Amino acid sequence: MVNIQSEKERIESWKKARKAELYINPLPVRIWHWLNALGFIILILSGTQLRYPNLFNVMSFETAVRTHNWVAFAVIANYCVWLGFYLFSDRITVYHPELNPKKFFDKAFAQMRYYGYGIFRGESSPHKVRPYDKFNPMQSITYQIVMLLVVPAQFFTGLLMWDVKRFESWIAFLGGIEVIGTVHVLIYIFFLAFTSVHAYMGALGRSPATHFREMFTGYEEEH
């Protein structure tokens, strides 16, 4: 026999908990995020196989080449979807930079203090996440640089190396295949570090799984 009172209390408790959550990441953003994460992991693995075949051996060279090329084009297409979504929706505000230098540096230093000191003492983040303002100043400037400069540069250098003969004039203009390859590898190393830091920061919620779960549901706890 069901305890009606207990069931009502459970429902009310769930409603209160839901009110304490904010819908931060809409479905298109969440789909893009996880597809992009999967694509980058595959690109890192296949790229490592291509660059260091004597140290890393999870697939044949030919398989690594095909996998790297096809997944790269899929990630480029996924990036275009991301760019289109933010350019043509009101969610673009999450990437708007703070144009007041004093405000930006005040908020950035407060966030740096939190990451370097306050977080280890149980303090709350100085930045309060909102649906149209989800990134703190450090995240905002980092994602602007990564998504608008570093990622396109990696796509461009990868495209040039994909068909050297077709793009030989561009390659020669930019200093030769050695320069293009070096830039591509340096950005690859950057993404190895960035992915590791991104995963670490994602584990700094109320529990290690909190922020990862939020990226599946779209709802983020309001502290």
Query: In the chain, what are the domains?
Result: 23-221 (1.20.950.20)
Tell me: pLDDT of 222 over 70: no
- Gap between the Cα atoms of 118 and 96, Å rounded: 26
H helices of 88-150, in order, are: 101-116, 137-145
Tokens (6 digits) for 115: 């990451």
**Mean pLDDT of the region 201-219:** 86
- Gap between the Cα atoms of 72 and 137, Å rounded: 30
pLDDT in tens, 100-156: 889 999 999 999 999 888 988 888 889 988 888 899 988 999 999 999 999 999 999
Tokens 């044949």 sit on residue: 60
pTM for this prediction: 0.83
Per-residue confidence at 209, pLDDT binned at 50, 70, 90?
confident
CA neighbor of 137 nearest in space, from 103, 94, 107, 114: 107
Cα 24 to Cα 54, 65, 79, 133: the distances in Å are 44, 37, 20, 9
